[in-house]
Amino acid sequence: MNCENCQELIHDFLDGSISRIDEIALNTHLEQCLDCDSVRHDLESILGYCRTHRGEYAAPPNTAALWLRIRNVIEAETPTMAESIEPRKSIFSSLMSRSWQLSLPQLVSSVIAIVVLVSLVTVVGIKRWSVTTNSQLEAAVTEGNSDVNDRVFQRNQVINYWNQRVELNKARWSPQMRETFDRNMAVIDQAVSDSMNELNRNPHDDIAEQMLNESLNDKLALLKEFSDL
């Protein structure tokens, strides 16, 4: 007999339902196995204690009342469970289905609070929107102008380079050639200036922009062509 069979037979032994043959085998094993013998002693102690103190744990004084309270608790929890099973209502619908009981002073205070809040939000919103729109417009106009100014500045840098080259060679030219160059450069500069003025008046003037680009190109071309002389 092993320990597992032994501990199963211990329960039958303690209940008094063990056969004579199993009892002999069990006793033989218990004599040889201290662990199983210890288990038998523990179980015998528990059973002995129980038999000794049987009847000391009295039933509740009013069993019927106890069951009634239990039933009430269960019934009270049932609607909550049902609610939790129902599909969830949206915040808006739950808000709309909700009702408040307000006194007249509370109602007046609420209305005043709402009016003040809405007014504040409206004023601040309009201010911010107008500031944003104005700044965007100003930014757009400035951007347009700065874009043109940047391009003119960049082009002028190239023009300055060629202008220096022309100035170096100018001494070799005949007086007539110098006069011709200066006169033509003045005419182109006037065209550049007129276009810039027109663009300052109207930054989105396509024709003025086209004229500005062409006159700057012409100026550069004139400088390049005369720098070879």
CA dist list (Å): 4 to 8, 11, 43: 6, 12, 15
Among candidates 159, 182, 186, 188, which has minimal Cα distance to 170? 182
* 37 interacts with other proteins by CB under 8 A: no
Least distance from other proteins to the Cβ atom of residue 154, Å: 22
* 228 interacts with other proteins by CB under 8 A: yes
Q: Which of residues 159-218 bind other proteins (CB under 8 A)?
A: 172-174, 176-177, 180-181, 183-184, 187-188, 190-191, 194-195, 198, 206-208, 210-211, 214-215, 218
Residue 130 vs 217, nearer CB to other proteins: 217
Distance of alpha carbon 225 from alpha carbon 212, whole angstroms: 20
Q: How many residues interact with other proteins (rule CB under 8 A)? A: 30
Residue 122 vs 180, nearer CB to other proteins: 180
Least distance from other proteins to the Cβ atom of residue 211, Å: 6
Residue 72 vs 197, nearer CB to other proteins: 197
| 37 contact partners, CB below 8 Å, separation of at least 6 | 30, 31
CA atoms within 13 A on the CB side of 138: 6
Residue 145 vs 210, nearer CB to other proteins: 210
* 9 interacts with other proteins by CB under 8 A: no
Least distance from other proteins to the Cβ atom of residue 175, Å: 10
Residue 68 vs 177, nearer CB to other proteins: 177
CA dist list (Å): 108 to 58, 102, 117: 63, 10, 14
CA dist list (Å): 124 to 117, 118, 128, 228: 11, 10, 6, 65
Binding interface with other proteins (CB under 8 A): 172-174, 176-177, 180-181, 183-184, 187-188, 190-191, 194-195, 198, 206-208, 210-211, 214-215, 218, 221-222, 225-226, 228-229
